[in-house]
């Protein structure tokens, strides 16, 4: 866990070549509810990027040599361990992001599920036998495919669900036998570092992950590095375009938000629809790619829905994200 987690300011280092580097330039994160500095994170420089890339290139071999069973065992342990840190991690999310603890606990539950799913997938990775004998020239021959790790993956994670989306990227990458460079969001350095620290405590080898905090220049340098074989990014469309330009001819996995529509039909249970739309439209202050963003209601039920929806929104509690009742 980040140093000083029970103190006023959490101090977070960059994880480079197996060591948490804390000396050097830092950037402060001001909590949106407390309006005070809650996190100070060591910022990666050119030397950190260079060292991380060299270590990742060497470490990729060690991670690829791990058996699927060994990788799955690490992820299974992490899935169990994260539940024991549920309240602590939710508190970090509340302090850094203003995310209500009830939402934060839900996010940590998803982290546990993600680790478990990734562990299961590590055991399932394989190739396939191709039906070449179905053609005369293929008779007597066997063709098969084999899936191999890319080597070095770069994960650039967003602020709105920093723990869960880090788990999505890092756990999947490790399950497939890759080493991963993590570029967390500046808004959630401690939350991100805590997830990585938990994985390391559960047996994730140091060669499998490095963490570099910083602004866009750090991400651009990592995207452009020839050592990186695939870039996974979640964020805005504009930043996704910048990631693609910096990465060049690399594999890209880009999730660039959403514009989710909800349709309330004439035969709908309007009261139930209003409850769901209020809860999922305002959860995490609406800062989710799958939140309710547009609602289309059949004209004959519009006034009824609007009244019910307004009442449901008025029931939501606004306040200290550390308070259990806050929505």
Question: Catalytic residues, which ones?
Answer: 255, 289
* Bridge-based pairing state of the strands 129-130 and 143-144: antiparallel
DSSP character string of 3-15: BTTTSSSEEE-EE
Per the CB < 8 A criterion, the answer to whether 213 and 189 are in contact is yes
User: What is the distance between the alpha carbons of residues 203 and 235, in angstroms, rounded to a whole number?
Assistant: 30
User: What is the distance between the alpha carbons of residues 289 and 281, in angstroms, rounded to a whole number?
Assistant: 11
**Cα 107 to chain center, whole Å?**
10
Reported in sequence order, the residue ranges of the chain that DSSP labels E, i.e. its strands, are 10-12, 14-16, 19-21, 26-30, 37-42, 129-130, 143-144, 152-156, 179-183, 209-211, 230-234, 251-255, 261-264, 294-297
Q: State the number of CA atoms in the 13 A half-sphere of 104 facing the CB.
A: 26
User: What is the distance between the alpha carbons of residues 217 and 118, in angstroms, rounded to a whole number?
Assistant: 30
């Amino acid at each position: 866990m980040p140093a000083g987690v029970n103190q006023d300011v959490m101090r977070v280092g960059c994880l480079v070549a197996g060591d948490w580097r804390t000396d050097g330039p830092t950037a402060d994160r001001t909590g949106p509810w407390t309006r005070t500095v809650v996190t100070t994170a060591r910022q990666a420089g050119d030397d950190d990027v260079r060292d991380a890339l060299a270590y990742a290139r060497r470490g990729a071999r060690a991670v690829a040599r791990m058996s699927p069973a060994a990788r799955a065992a690490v992820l299974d342990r992490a899935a169990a361990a994260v539940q024991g840190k549920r309240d602590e991690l939710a508190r970090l999310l509340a302090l850094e992001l203003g995310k209500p603890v009830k939402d934060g606990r839900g996010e940590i539950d998803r982290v546990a599920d993600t680790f478990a799913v990734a562990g299961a997938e590590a055991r399932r990775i394989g190739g396939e036998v191709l039906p070449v004998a179905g053609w005369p020239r293929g008779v007597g021959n066997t063709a098969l495919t084999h899936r191999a790790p890319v080597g070095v993956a770069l994960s650039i994670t967003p602020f709105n669900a920093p723990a869960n989306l880090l788990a999505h990227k890092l756990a999947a990458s490790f399950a497939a036998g890759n080493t991963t460079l993590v570029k967390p969001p500046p808004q959630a350095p401690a939350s991100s570092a805590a997830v990585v620290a938990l994985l390391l405590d559960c047996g994730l080898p140091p060669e499998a992950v490095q963490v570099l905090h910083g602004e866009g220049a750090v991400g651009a340098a990592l995207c452009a590095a020839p050592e990186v074989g695939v870039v996974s990014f979640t964020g805005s469309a504009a930043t996704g375009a910048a990631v693609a330009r910096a990465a060049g001819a690399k594999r890209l996995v880009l999730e660039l938000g959403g514009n989710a529509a909800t349709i309330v039909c004439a035969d709908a249970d309007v009261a139930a629809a209003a409850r769901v739309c209020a809860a999922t439209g305002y959860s995490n202050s609406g800062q989710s790619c799958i939140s309710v963003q547009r609602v289309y209601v059949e004209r004959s039920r519009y006034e009824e829905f609007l009244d019910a929806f307004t009442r449901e929104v008025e029931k939501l509690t606004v306040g200290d994200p550390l308070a259990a009742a806050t929505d």
